[in-house]
Chains A and B, each alone.
Chain A
Amino acid sequence: MTYEQRLLEIAANNPDLVVMTAENRAAIRTLPLTLGPRFIDVGIAEQTLVGSAAGLALRGRVPIAHALASFLTMRAFEFIRTDVGIAQLPVKLVGAFAGFLSEANGPTHQALEDVALMRGIPGVNVSCPADEEEMLDAVSSMVDDRAPWYMRYNPRPPAWRHRTPFVPGAAEIVTEGTDVALLTYGCVARECYHAAERLADGGIDVRLVNMRTLKPVDEAAILAAARETSLVVTVEDHFSVGGLASIVAEVAAANHVAVRLYSIALAGRWFKPALYADVLECEGFSPEQIASRVSAAYAGRHDARGHVHA
């Protein structure tokens, strides 16, 4: 089943669902025909997209609004905060081409702060599915929930078979392990899965944790990782500020739990624009590179800021 087939299925059962877009149709190309008036394309106007979604929600609709992640979460940020956040309206926001998925578009299109921005708005939840299959469950789940949600659209194929149902605030423990906990979300979960396989081959026992939602976040899974493993590594195609590394630090500090944390993220600059595989390689996120960064950190050859010493 594709994303748009799932939306169509939800729309059939929920007459209030309205699919909206700011002329971002890549994932919902057939819906104008099938949904008729319940498909609304406002043109390339993200602020109006979010503001009018709030108006539709005021009238009892459940709008699911699509745009490129960077323009949705940043250009329309104040509309999300003010019209959706303050009013706590059930508007569902779907950001496409977040993180590395923007490939060679350049910094204008690189949403590397979307998680930080969206989770910072009171009452707005954030989900970052690891692959297309998980995204289908995530979209059903957020439409059923009354809260506002932001979801990172992720059409990548699954790297593993999901064993537990998608529940907001519940992480998926993909592999058990006590040497290193690898916490991740979104499209790079796939690279982490293959990195964990490599690390296991090298004798490092990895607990791979797919966070699924970053707000609400699975605090128990984070605290267990901090308490039961020697090193917690966060891997995210997001700036190190405000993303998963920050969340782990916040949760550990709030619970007075010490954690040895190593963050693999973007820091201090945007990534070099290129096709996906080249971006991974250039930024140190290929499975091989993640594995070697983690094993170096595990061996203790890194300083407090996460810089690995050769």
Chain B
Amino acid sequence: MTQDTRTSLLERAIRVRERIIRMSTGGGCFIGASLSCADLILFLYTSVLNVTPDTTTSPDRDYLFLSKGHDVPALYGTLVEFGFLDEMRLSHHLSPRDSIYWHPNRAVDGVEFHSGSLGHLPAVALGVAMDIKMSGGSNRVFVIVGDGELNEGSVWEAALVAAARRLDNLVFIVDRNEFQANVRTEDLVPLEPIEAKFGAFGWATDRINGHDFDAMERCFARVPFERDKPSVVVADTVRGKGLASLERRADRWFVAFTSEEAAALIDELHGGAAAVVESSVRMVR
């Protein structure tokens, strides 16, 4: 990766995170889970996905499905960055007059499908990938799944079928931030070894640092990792990444910050002092 590309990605990542922080005021948003996969989503749109604001309905585009769903502020922040979505609309967050709320939906430009109920989009993506194969297309289907989401059996049903159908155009990206709503994943229903599980299901696997753009570049250049096999990227991430005052805190999954707290967080993002945030988590799950 060139230094210019890296610098540009880092600058864009700051802007995406600023947009996420702004969406955490008022009624709040799932800020921790959005910050953990912000770098991944940004990199996909920068260097991986063959889709532009003009090709969002093209049958030949690459697809990105957000299956964990509550990371949607990171997607909106990125869609604004690349001109898919008007930045003005982010100020309509949670307004009944727009469709910018806690989970994704297709009324927002650039969003492929709605989600919020975990474990659905692996199967929806499977269907899209099967049709692409049947139609002789060469486009690819990416799905971001949460690590907690791997609790849902439907993820594994789709994984079995994808391997059976030899869908090497299907790629799961596991946002491995090690937390689910209330607890650490390994304290509840241990998921490791994740790669070995997918491997046993017939998938080709890789594991990267989900905040390291160079590692992402090397990894995604190799997709599909093996011919005739679906690919899974286990991306190790940090919940709340980019803001030391939020990182890895179980009580910072969903928060509604005051505008003063958001301003302090944006300052922290730009290298200022660690923000002091007192707002408690909203009861959401």
Real binding pair:
yes
A: which residues have CB within 8 A of B?
23-27, 29, 41-45, 47-48, 68, 70-71, 75, 96-97, 103-109, 272-275, 278-279, 281-282
**With contact pairs A25-B181, A104-B101, A274-B95 given, residues A70 and B152 touching in the complex (Cβ less than 8 Å):** no
B284 cross-chain contacts in A, Cβ below 8 A: 26, 97, 105
Nearest to B256 among chain A residues (CB) is A275
Contact of A104 among B102, B151, B180 (CB under 8 A): B102
Which 9 pairs across A and B sit closest by C-beta, in order of nearness? Answer: A108-B116, A43-B151, A43-B189, A272-B96, A273-B101, A44-B151, A274-B96, A282-B96, A106-B103
Nearest to A71 among chain B residues (CB) is B117
Interface residues of B in 9-28 (CB under 8 A from A): 26-27
Type the 1/0 row for B85-117, where 1 means its CB is closer than 8 Å to any CB of A. Answer: 000000000111001011101000000001111
Type the 1/0 row for B118-152, where 1 means its CB is closer than 8 Å to any CB of A. Answer: 11000000000000000000000000000011011
- Minimal beta-carbon separation of A99 from chain B (angstroms): 16
Q: Do residues B153 and A45 form an inter-chain contact, with CB atoms below 8 A?
A: yes
**With contact pairs A26-B283, A68-B285, A103-B27 given, residues A108 and B148 touching in the complex (Cβ less than 8 Å):** no
B27 cross-chain contacts in A, Cβ below 8 A: 103-104, 275
Q: Do residues A275 and B94 form an inter-chain contact, with CB atoms below 8 A?
A: yes
**With contact pairs A44-B152, A105-B103, A109-B117 given, residues A25 and B182 touching in the complex (Cβ less than 8 Å):** yes
Bound together, the chains give a CA A222 to CA B189 distance in angstroms of 47
**With contact pairs A23-B181, A68-B285, A104-B27 given, residues A42 and B117 touching in the complex (Cβ less than 8 Å):** no
Q: Do residues A23 and B101 form an inter-chain contact, with CB atoms below 8 A?
A: no
Interface residues of B in 159-210 (CB under 8 A from A): 180-183, 188-189
Bound together, the chains give a CA A75 to CA B284 distance in angstroms of 19
A24 cross-chain contacts in B, Cβ below 8 A: 181, 285
Bound together, the chains give a CA A107 to CA B116 distance in angstroms of 8
Contact of B180 among A23, A29, A282 (CB under 8 A): A23
B116 cross-chain contacts in A, Cβ below 8 A: 105-109
Among A26, A44, A48, A97, find the residue whose CB has the most chain B CB atoms closer than 10 A: A44
Bound together, the chains give a CA A97 to CA B181 distance in angstroms of 15
**With contact pairs A43-B189, A106-B105 given, residues A70 and B94 touching in the complex (Cβ less than 8 Å):** no
B: which residues have CB within 8 A of A?
26-27, 69, 94-96, 99, 101-103, 105, 114-119, 148-149, 151-153, 180-183, 188-189, 283-285
**With contact pairs A278-B95, A279-B96 given, residues A44 and B149 touching in the complex (Cβ less than 8 Å):** yes
Bound together, the chains give a CA A69 to CA B27 distance in angstroms of 21
- Minimal beta-carbon separation of A224 from chain B (angstroms): 37
A278 cross-chain contacts in B, Cβ below 8 A: 94-96
Q: Do residues B94 and A45 form an inter-chain contact, with CB atoms below 8 A?
A: no
B285 cross-chain contacts in A, Cβ below 8 A: 23-26, 68, 96
Give 15 CB contacts A-B under 8 Å: A23-B188, A23-B285, A44-B118, A44-B151, A45-B151, A104-B94, A104-B101, A105-B101, A107-B116, A109-B103, A109-B116, A272-B96, A273-B94, A274-B96, A278-B95
Bound together, the chains give a CA A105 to CA B119 distance in angstroms of 16
Contact of A43 among B94, B117, B148 (CB under 8 A): B148
- Minimal beta-carbon separation of A39 from chain B (angstroms): 12
- Minimal beta-carbon separation of B120 from chain A (angstroms): 8
A68 cross-chain contacts in B, Cβ below 8 A: 285
Contact of B117 among A26, A96, A108 (CB under 8 A): A108
B182 cross-chain contacts in A, Cβ below 8 A: 23, 25, 29
Q: Do residues B114 and A48 form an inter-chain contact, with CB atoms below 8 A?
A: no
A105 cross-chain contacts in B, Cβ below 8 A: 101-103, 116, 284
Among A27, A75, A104, A109, find the residue whose CB has the most chain B CB atoms closer than 10 A: A104
Nearest to B182 among chain A residues (CB) is A25
Among A23, A29, A42, find the residue whose CB has the most chain B CB atoms closer than 10 A: A23
Q: Do residues B95 and A43 form an inter-chain contact, with CB atoms below 8 A?
A: no
**With contact pairs A26-B283, A106-B102 given, residues A273 and B96 touching in the complex (Cβ less than 8 Å):** yes
Bound together, the chains give a CA A96 to CA B102 distance in angstroms of 17
Contact of B101 among A27, A274, A281 (CB under 8 A): A274
- Minimal beta-carbon separation of B153 from chain A (angstroms): 6
B188 cross-chain contacts in A, Cβ below 8 A: 23, 41, 43
Nearest to B117 among chain A residues (CB) is A108
Nearest to B120 among chain A residues (CB) is A108
Nearest to B181 among chain A residues (CB) is A23
Bound together, the chains give a CA A112 to CA B99 distance in angstroms of 19
Bound together, the chains give a CA A26 to CA B253 distance in angstroms of 12
Q: Do residues A45 and B152 form an inter-chain contact, with CB atoms below 8 A?
A: yes
Bound together, the chains give a CA A226 to CA B152 distance in angstroms of 46
Q: Do residues B114 and A273 form an inter-chain contact, with CB atoms below 8 A?
A: no
A29 cross-chain contacts in B, Cβ below 8 A: 182
Besides A26-B283, A43-B180, A106-B114, 18 new A-B residue pairs in contact (Cβ under 8 A), listed by A number: A23-B285, A25-B181, A25-B182, A29-B182, A44-B118, A45-B151, A71-B117, A75-B117, A97-B284, A103-B27, A105-B101, A105-B116, A105-B284, A106-B101, A106-B102, A106-B116, A108-B103, A108-B117
